[in-house]
Structure 1
Amino acid sequence: MKNNVLVLSAGRRVSLVRAFKKAIEDLSIEGDVFGSDIRPNMSAACNILNKSFELPHVLKDEYIDELKTLCIKESIKLVVPTIDTELLKLAKYKLEFKDLGITLVVSNSELVISCRDKRLTHDLFYQIGFPVPVTYPLENIKFPCFSKPISGSLSQNIRILQSQGELDTWGISKSEMMYMEIISNEEFDEYTVDVYYTQQSELICMVPRQRVEVRGGEISKGRTNKKLINLLKESMSKLETAFGCLTLQVFKSKTTDQIYGIEINPRFGGGFPLSNAAGAKYPEFLLREVFLDQKLSYTDDWEDQLVMLRYDAEVLISNG
């Protein structure tokens, strides 16, 4: 029986699905990579795959049943989510799918909830001994401050607020936002760290990559940097119930070892192709664990100071 992989909400993640296809080929696994989307015919990633499938929106009641039916019918044994809204629902059904021989690459519900609510993320950072910026309660904000949604992604609705008046005239719900001290871009560099955890939540690899330039909330120019590993490894090794690729957002001082944790997204991030190209082949890690039942060991065997310069490319579909 084949061991197929399904990448959910494949969208534009051409590099990610290609990484899974290469991992299957390199490991000589009998299987293929499939994609799903609400409109797979309009998904670049779905259109480079042999098979793709339409699934309803993840918040629809029928989503889990249709996903389960699809996995059984197509011999899909590994399901990889790619967007935040999928994570909590999949985490709730993780054991149910496991009983069917299907592995959902998602951390447990408790961790997903803590990562989705940025206030709980800060509590989580405290628990694992990771420094965070000072946060302000709504009734005692110190201006200027940095504001971001409690639950959000792709840098939407983030803003530097100069005064109470500016906050009062901003057309958003104040209680849905988080307020914190400003971390200066002149003093700090921003990094995303791709961290891999086994099914037993053992930290196996971490790749810090500097966000040299960002577009639409995703890295467009980046550089790997091994120097941060020693500043991160001890705290991140304490993270419980994690599985697969998690993306950690941090700020690192340009002149000292001061570091601040900002967010944790428990899924593959948009900039993962840089880590994969550097040699941190997390799709292969997943296949070795799940399909080949291999035990993984910690590794830093990836290329330091590798630069990624992203650009737009096209997928053309005749009679599309």
Structure 2
Amino acid sequence: MGLLKTIKSSTDIGTVVGIDCDPWASGSIGCDHFEVVEELESPQYLARLESLCQQYSIGLIIPTREADMRILVPWAKNHTRAIATSSLETLDLCQNKVNTYQWLSQRGFPVAPWVQWRHQDPISLESIIGPLPWFSKDPQGRGSIGCQRIEQASHLQAIPDGWILQPHLSGQEYTLNGYVDRCGKCHALIPHARLRVSGGEVSHGVTVRDNMLIDLGRRVIEALPGAYGPINMQVFWNRHTHQIAITDINPRLGGGYPLSHASGGKFVQWLAWEALGRPLPENAQHTWQDQVRLLGYRDTHIAFPVEASLS
């Protein structure tokens, strides 16, 4: 809901139409219009999307999941509507962490030691990723779902084949929120410290104007092939040991985007401006505000049957 509220507060957005295959999707209550559509895999999905675009005169589509983007990239080639998505090549790099880490390593960007779990001997694993504790995660996972801390070698038996093992990283975790314009330039890069995290999303964060993080984020984002729009990265940085490691790249709006928006990074507004052919604001990198704090909370909405009455 925080992301949706931020989108609606952006200027030049106009009417917000949300779609989902779930009629009870929580975001439905915050849209100007909400439409239930077929499953993404349905042959009728794109035809339904085109019909809704015509019905509501949609000029900009902002997908929030990589799976939607993969469907929309080839579809966009035959349509004039602006779609906030990167190329299939960048989606491939970001959706699978094996591809992500290989790509980062080949270009000299910092990555923690890692290995794919294939039931190796724990001693051989230690030679690659160091001593326990380790951290396991699904190479195609989202939102920390299924991630586990491995305290003992015996715990490895519960890890699915092909999952990634890494050392348990110390230091502060940061998100680097960037916006890439149509020319492939990182127009703004806004780091924030993830002080508290719930379900993989930041619940307490603060923007941090740190030149090292900004430079790292800009170089990575501008190196991505065909990147466009909002892109965020997760980074662990231990200031005492000076070790830094990139753990994730997400080519979309993240759950912490409202913090970047509040500090001055109006990414959704910029998407609308580019769709309208307007120039982006100058000096955006130098005008966002440092030390802006996000304090997240869960909101609750109750839906009664239409015929119900309260007495």
TM-score (norm 2): 0.87
Instruction: Give the structure 2 partner of residue 232 of structure 1.
Output: 217
Instruction: Give the structure 2 partner of residue 6 of structure 1.
Output: none
Select the residue among 163, 167, 176 that pairs with 1:193.
176
Q: Separation in 2 of the partners of 1:257 and 1:285?
A: 35
Q: Separation in 2 of the partners of 1:231 and 1:198?
A: 18
Q: What SS does structure 1 have at the residue aligned with 2:202?
A: strand
* 1:107-186 correspondence runs (5 A): 107-137=86-116, 138=118, 139=120, 140-142=124-126, 143-144=131-132, 145-168=134-157, 170=158, 172-175=159-162, 177-184=163-170
* 1:264-303 correspondence runs (5 A): 264-295=249-280, 297=282, 299-300=284-285, 301-303=287-289
The structure-2 alpha-carbon separation of the partners of 1:256 and 1:141, relative to structure 1 and needing over 3 Å to count, comes to closer
Question: In structure 2, what residue type is equivalent to 1:212?
Answer: L
Q: Separation in 2 of the partners of 1:201 and 1:316?
A: 43
User: Aligned residue pairs: how many?
Assistant: 293
Instruction: Give the structure 1 partner of residue 186 of structure 2.
Output: 203
Work out whether residues 221 and 227 of structure 2, in 8 Å CA contact, stay in contact via their aligned partners in 1: no
How far off is 1:307 after superposition? 1.2
How far off is 1:246 after superposition? 0.9
Q: Deviations over 1:72-95 (max 9, x none)?
A: 222111111112332222223231
Work out whether residues 180 and 221 of structure 2, in 8 Å CA contact, stay in contact via their aligned partners in 1: no
Q: What SS does structure 1 have at the residue aligned with 2:235?
A: strand
Q: Separation in 1 of the partners of 2:284 and 2:106?
A: 25
Q: Separation in 2 of the partners of 1:53 and 1:199?
A: 30
Q: Separation in 2 of the partners of 1:231 and 1:256?
A: 18
How far off is 1:34 after superposition? 1.2
Instruction: Give the structure 1 partner of residue 45 of structure 2.
Output: 63
TM-score (norm 1): 0.84
Q: Deviations over 1:231-250 (max 9, x none)?
A: 43333332221111111011
Question: In structure 1, what residue type is equivalent to 2:8?
Answer: K
Work out whether residues 196 and 246 of structure 1, in 8 Å CA contact, stay in contact via their aligned partners in 2: yes
Give the percent of matched residue pairs that are identical in Structure 1 and Structure 2.
28
The structure-2 alpha-carbon separation of the partners of 1:92 and 1:257, relative to structure 1 and needing over 3 Å to count, comes to farther
Select the residue among 81, 90, 114 that pairs with 2:63.
81
Structure 2: runs of 5 or more not aligned: 307-311
Q: Separation in 1 of the partners of 2:20 and 2:169?
A: 37
Structure 1: runs of 5 or more not aligned: 1-13
Question: In structure 2, what residue type is equivalent to 1:141?
Answer: L
How far off is 1:296 after superposition? 5.1
How far off is 1:166 after superposition? 1.8
Q: Deviations over 1:100-122 (max 9, x none)?
A: 32122111001101101100001
Instruction: Give the structure 1 partner of residue 299 of structure 2.
Output: 313
Query: CA RMSD of the aligned region, Å?
Result: 2.1
